[in-house]
Amino acid sequence: MMRTAISILQKDLRMEFRSKESILAMWIFSLLIFVIFNFTFEVSRLVMLEIAPGLLWVAFVFSGMFGLNQSFALEKENGNLRAMALMPVDGGEIYVGKFFSVTLIMLMFEALIFPIFIIFYDLQLSLGMFRLIPVLLAGTIGFTSLGTILSAVAVHTRNQQILLSLLLWPLVSPIIIWSVTLTGMILSGEVTEAFYPLLLRVGAFDVIFFTLSYMLFDFILED
Amino acid sequence: MSVPALEILGVSKDFGRIIALRDVSFSVMPGEFVSILGRNGAGKTTLLNIVSGVSRPSEGKVNLFGTDPGDRENKAKLAVISHEMFLYGNLTAIENLEYYSRVYNVPDAKKRIDTVLSDVELTHRRFDLVATYSRGMTQRLTIARALLHEPSLLLLDEPFTGLDQHAIGMLIELLKKQKDMDRTILLTTHDLHTAAELSDRYVVLSKHKIIKDGYIADTTPDAIREKYFSAESQGAEA
Amino acid sequence: MRSKIDKILLIILLIAFSVSIYLIFQWVPQIKASNPAEQIAQRIFYFHVPSAWLGFLAFFVVFCASIAYLATRDRKYELISVASAEIGVLFISLVLITGPIWAKPVWGIWWTWDVRLTSSLILWLIYVAFLMLRRYLPDGSKRANLSAVVGIIGFIDVPIVYYSIRWWETQHPKAVMASSEGSLAAPMFFAFMFSLATFTLLYVYLIRKRYQLLTLEDTLNKQFKEMEIL
């Protein structure tokens, strides 16, 4: 059933791990984000803790944009997007393949970025931090479910990177707003009863965005 | 009477400012090799896109093996070779072919990959990244990729452009072999001699319309050029 | 026939706008506010809110036309969606301009990250991106498909954006925003509804004109192509 989606995922991950330089570049880049922010906003440690969740998501979102741009540039390179349109499967299945590959790659970046973040902001690791896992998952899936379909749109233009930002940022802003809030609750150790309903809400919008993109992807492949 | 593999019935593609095809009709029998001739911008590529189900006609109908071209069964039966490679430079030849064989559900894939690789004489480079290939080698691998799932219908969009002599010769040989296997083949080209060497029939597209549908056996490449592609014929034909 | 309808519409619009300007600036009684600037600025409301309404209406039309396009592949719906998106962006721009003009004398600031302001801004950004995308793509059925997809996703996202910012706002109490609204007095309500109706009529007129222009462009382009052929 999902044979094509799995093949696309395998192929993407294989290529991603082959270009180790780009993973390294991404990691260094996020390191730079923390460094630059530290000097542009010279704030006390207390304020820093307050803006830290936002900062973390800025780094995540940049890495996600990087992954999306790279992934779809590869598909455009040798006309592979047309090859996908010719495949004997629904566009939705191709969407699923690309979605899982960009999501896994973004999660991998997040796993690489998070330890630096902990060290730079001297955060105390605690058991409560495990609650970050569903938050990161929900936020990332929201970002990539829209990001995948909009990258496939933007890749048809000459200015793929700028256009993807223009399309994706405003549309994905609700997911980012909630993810930052949820992350803030965990990092400050003030997880209120609002936490789980909010997390559920992000999850619900993930489902909406994913389903919508799944249904519409066929039209993007068509000429 | 056998049933045509492909029927194009009054197809037009006309969208906004773009006019690509106007009332094009012809049919192709199974096993036939048809060359679609015409200048750049005559609508050849659009026609192949419609046959492959990627593009929709704004008017008219296409029957491929009796059904809509966009059907999964039809897509599984066709292959396209064009100037686009449909290959990933960061994967080896084997990995590229493995990927496509899984997507197209090729039975006994390992053996089939070995066969197509040796057909295009790339067995010795199969573990190298495609990015390291010369242009000619990449083109050969493109051919191997297209033949991987043994398509019943081959759509070739200017496949000879950019090929070196070696690859051209190889592609011609492979196409002859495909023809002997009774595969249906549509070729767009402006190389009249190759078209005449390979195909049974030719269709001339000019300014989005068919102006000639005839058999190669009844003519010569030079006669075709004289009649449809010389400077004087341009004004008269429409 | 078509031009006759347009002419009648135009005449009605001219009359309606004259009447609403009279209603807004002469007929409606002065509000009681401690700040004299606020008394004058308050009248922006009769243009500001109808513009916002018109923007939403326009984007809803983009959404419907996008769905209709994907269902039928009829060029007509593509042109309607573009025409409507352009008008929508124009009027949301007016919202974003008139908003601060009102806010400065009343709140003492040009901008605040209030839910309506912020979501209007994001709404504006979404549809500017939609129009930008179209500029970057060559004309053809591919562009029509891609922009219809964005037109659908964009509109579905609008309530989610509004919802998320409203939620965010409750987490961050603001200093400004002393509620000066309350319920509208009867004459104000009448003037407001009249203005709203006038703006809606303006939308009908504008989209008709823009659509006709786009169709004419298509016809003209095709005729040039024909001339090359013959």
Tens digits of residue pLDDT in B21-54: 999 999 999 999 999 998 888 889 999 999 999 9
Contact B63, B35 (CB under 8 A): no
In a domain, C40, yes or no: no
Interface test with B, best of A7, A81, A219 (most B CBs within 10 A): A7
Calculate helix-pair angle for B165-180, B135-147, nearest 10 degrees. 10
Identify any residues that bridge with C195 across adjacent strands, giving them in sequence order: none
Residues 6+ apart with CB under 8 A from A219: A91, C70, C145, C146, C148, C149
Dihedral angle computed from the Cα positions of residues A65, A67, A70 and A76, in that order, rounded to the nearest 10 degrees: -90
In a domain, C41, yes or no: no
In a domain, C22, yes or no: yes
In a domain, C89, yes or no: yes
Q: Do C164 and A178 touch (CB under 8 A)?
A: yes
C179, pLDDT greater than 70: no
In a domain, C11, yes or no: yes
C148, pLDDT greater than 90: yes
Q: Which domain holds residue C10?
A: 2-33+47-175+184-229
Q: How far apart are CA C142 and CA C157, in angstroms?
A: 23
User: What is the total count of domains within chain C?
Assistant: 1
CB nearest to B18's CB, from C73, C78, C139: C139
CB nearest to B90's CB, from A6, A15, A85: A15
What domains are defined for chain B? 30-54+71-237 (3.40.50.300)
Q: How far apart are CA B26 and CA A207, in angstroms?
A: 46
Angle (nearest 5°) at CA C118 between C113 and C122: 150
Q: Do B16 and C144 touch (CB under 8 A)?
A: yes
Residue of chain C whose alpha carbon sits nearest to that of A176: C164
Angle (nearest 5°) at CA B29 between B24 and B35: 60
Place of tokens 């601060």: C100
pLDDT in tens, chain A (223 residues): 689 999 999 999 999 988 888 888 888 988 888 888 878 877 777 777 788 899 999 999 999 999 999 999 989 988 999 999 999 999 999 999 999 999 999 999 999 999 988 888 878 778 778 889 999 999 999 999 999 999 999 999 988 999 999 999 999 999 999 999 999 989 888 888 888 999 999 999 999 999 999 999 999 998 8
Structure tokens at C33: 């506010």
Place of tokens 């290959």: B87
Tens digits of residue pLDDT in B68-101: 998 889 999 999 998 888 999 999 999 999 999 9
Tens digits of residue pLDDT in B188-238: 988 888 888 889 999 999 888 888 888 888 888 888 887 777 754 554 443
Q: How far apart are CA B60 and CA B209, in angstroms?
A: 14
Q: How far apart are CA C230 and CA C218, in angstroms?
A: 18
Q: Which of B19-23, B158-162, B226-230, C210-214 has the highest mean pLDDT?
A: C210-214
Contact B171, B179 (CB under 8 A): no
For A117, phi and psi rounded to 5 degrees?
-60, -45
Identify any residues that bridge with B212 across adjacent strands, giving them in sequence order: B204
| Cα-only R_g, chain B | 18
Q: How far apart are CA C176 and CA C113, in angstroms?
A: 11
Residue type for position C103: A
Nearest Cα residue to B154 out of B52, B59, B84, B54: B52
Q: Do B103 and A221 touch (CB under 8 A)?
A: no
Residue B188 touches chain A, beta carbons under 8 Å: no
Q: How far apart are CA A162 and CA C128, in angstroms?
A: 13
Query: Would you give the distance in Å from CA B90 to the centre of its chain?
Result: 26
- Of residues B155 and A191, more confidence is placed in B155
Q: What is the pLDDT of residue B238?
A: 37
Q: What is the pLDDT of residue B79?
A: 95
Interface test with B, best of C223, C225, C228 (most B CBs within 10 A): C225
